[in-house]
Amino acid sequence: MGPLPIRGYTICIMLGVVAAVVVAERRWRNRGGAPGTMLDLATWGIPFGIVGARLYHVITDWQLYFGPDAPHRPIDAILVWGDSGPGWRGLSVWGAVALGGVGVWIACRRRGIALSAVADTVAPAVAIGQAIGRWCNYFNQELFGGPTDLPWGLVIEAGRPGTVAGVATYHPTFLYESLWNVGLALALIWIGGRFALRHGRLFALYVAGYTAGRFWIEGLRVDPANEILGMRLNQWTSAVLFLGAMTYVYLTRNKRSKESLGDERVPVEVK
């Protein structure tokens, strides 16, 4: 399709972003927020998120781009689209959520909206977006688990990093994470409606739920990764964020102050 080929990896990420914005917008309106707010915030969050996603990947896998044995050129570290180097490969969930959150925070400050209110609103939406976006790994045949003869084993081309000679099928860890995120989104929607959690507590539960699943799924993966004390870096990240999220839920359990939604409509029940 010309100089900017559209691949399955890219389509999955784009569909995930669109789904997240649509779900978040519906939830925001149900909460009483002004129509179009989530789309406005997304125009800040998405660019920041792309930069953060790439930045985290490059920092944690710097050896892929720098040093005498690096398989890619240093310039490829900043390329998120193209035929040279990894192209749309190498985007991290951690960096996307972290720096994307900074972009949303800036937008919230400009509109007089409480970031915590937005965070709770988008929590299930982010999980849904991740569930869709994670399928990008299927098209790139990457980030799979160890060998398996289970019926849902994923056929991986021989010779790819992590494959074993004579073995054709591997654990589809992208599928495990996708299903986990769907379940997490449904749980967050139910919890949010049942307990009316506010002040960022629902988002903290999203963080705790996602990292709990990511910890064990990460342990199944066989792709090369930096390790600390025998544990993959992303497992350490998951453990730290899980503890931080649960601590936040506990420390804010009695917080009841009103959160600004900026330009508000008459609120209705959050679905």
Residue list, annotated binding site: 134
Instruction: At 258, list the tokens.
Output: 């009103």
How is residue 30 written in tokens? Answer: 């149900």
Burial class (CB in 10 A: 0-12, 13-18, 19+), 49: buried
Per the listing, tokens 């029940």 go with: 269
Asked if 154 and 169 count as a contact pair (C-beta separation under 8 A), the reply is: yes
CA distance 229 to 112: 44
Contact between residue 104 and residue 44 where contact means Cβ atoms under 8 Å apart: yes
- How far apart CA 196 and CA 233 sit, in angstroms, is 34
Instruction: Give the residue from 173, 184, 128, 186 showing the smallest Cα distance to 147.
Output: 173
Calculate the alpha carbon distances from 258 to 105, 113, 234, 249 in Å. 18, 11, 36, 17
